Structure 1
Amino acid sequence: MFFDESKMLRGSGAGVVLLSPKGDRLSYVLQVHFDSSNNEAEYEALLYGIQMAISLGIHRLMVYGDSDLVVNQVMKEWDIHSPAMTYYCNAVGKLEKHFEGMELHHVPRLKNQVVDNLAKMGSTRKPVPKNVFLEHSHSPMIKEDPLWKSPRSQSDLPSRLK
């Protein structure tokens, strides 16, 4: 599975390609219709792709993305400093349990061009080709802690999140 995000003035979008070992390909464009940062949109792309793989009954998944932050946070190579990123990373961990095996790898942007183009279709709201599935997302795939409301500073965080 390859994933990527794009953020433009019109909104955010995500691209996902599921590629079978035999070369069969399913392509998805996700239009994100809520405010999100680049990193949140990247996690949305990853979660959406994982959910598609689960719905197709895939048991082993190799995942490729060009976001250093997302790949390294999920692989526990980098610390997470944002509550929102913690929620996203935890959501990936929960979905990972649906597979017999799942690996996440960083790829250079040039090797992720196909999904980058799909993500740009989503963020610019351009029409998608007939062989590409189009989905719309109107709310984040994560469920945030109701006590946490985008604090302006560390002191605004509930004490259990500091």
Structure 2
Amino acid sequence: MHCDGSKMHSGLGAGIVMSSPKGDWRRYALQIHFAASNNVAEYEALVHGLRLAKEIGIRRILYYRDSDLVVQQASGEWDAREANMASYRFLVQQLADGFDGCEFLHVPRTDNEVADTLAKIGSTRHAIPPGISLEHLRKLSIKPSPDS
């Protein structure tokens, strides 16, 4: 699974690309309909992607991302100091525990271009091309911290 988040003047979006060892592809663009940071968009892509993977019966997942922050926090290598990021990290760890295997890997931005393009489509509110599923997120996947 490749994911990316995007924050633009027109809004927030995220992109998710799932591919199987057999070469099957699923592509998702997320339109995020609440105010948040780019890091929230990055985490929402991850959370939504893990939930989608679980729904379609994936048991082992390799998660690729060009955001080193999210990869390092999700894998437990780095602490999340901000309360909302810590809540996202905890949620991701709970979701990851539901798989037989889940590994978080950092990749260069050039290796994450399809997810980046989908995230930009979501954040710019452009027309969704054929073969891409559109999801609308209207609330955070976590309970927001009162300090945020």
> TM-score, normalized by length of structure 2?
0.97
Cα distance in 1 for residues equivalent to 2:69 and 2:15: 17
CA RMSD of aligned residues (A): 0.9
State the SS of the aligned residue for 1:12. strand
- After the TM superposition, list the runs of 4 or more consecutive aligned residues in structure 1 that deviate by more than 3 angstroms: none
* Structure 1 gap ranges (5+): 151-162
Residue 79 of structure 1 and its aligned partner are, at CA, apart by: 2.0
Aligned counterpart, 1:51: 51
Residue 3 of structure 1 and its aligned partner are, at CA, apart by: 0.2
Aligned counterpart, 2:13: 13
Cα distance in 2 for residues equivalent to 1:143 and 1:53: 22
What is the percentage of aligned positions where both structures have the same residue? 49
Aligned counterpart, 1:32: 32
**Which has the greater radius of gyration?**
1
Residue 42 of structure 1 and its aligned partner are, at CA, apart by: 0.2
Aligned counterpart, 1:94: 94
Cα distance in 2 for residues equivalent to 1:72 and 1:93: 12
More relative contact order in 1 or in 2 (CA 8 Å, sep 6+)? Answer: 2
Give deviations 1:78-116, integer Å, cap 9, x for gaps: 221100000000010111121001001000001000110
Aligned counterpart, 2:147: 149
Aligned counterpart, 1:61: 61
Give deviations 1:109-160, integer Å, cap 9, x for gaps: 0100011000000000001112000000010111235xx232xxxxxxxxxx
* Structure 2 gap ranges (5+): none
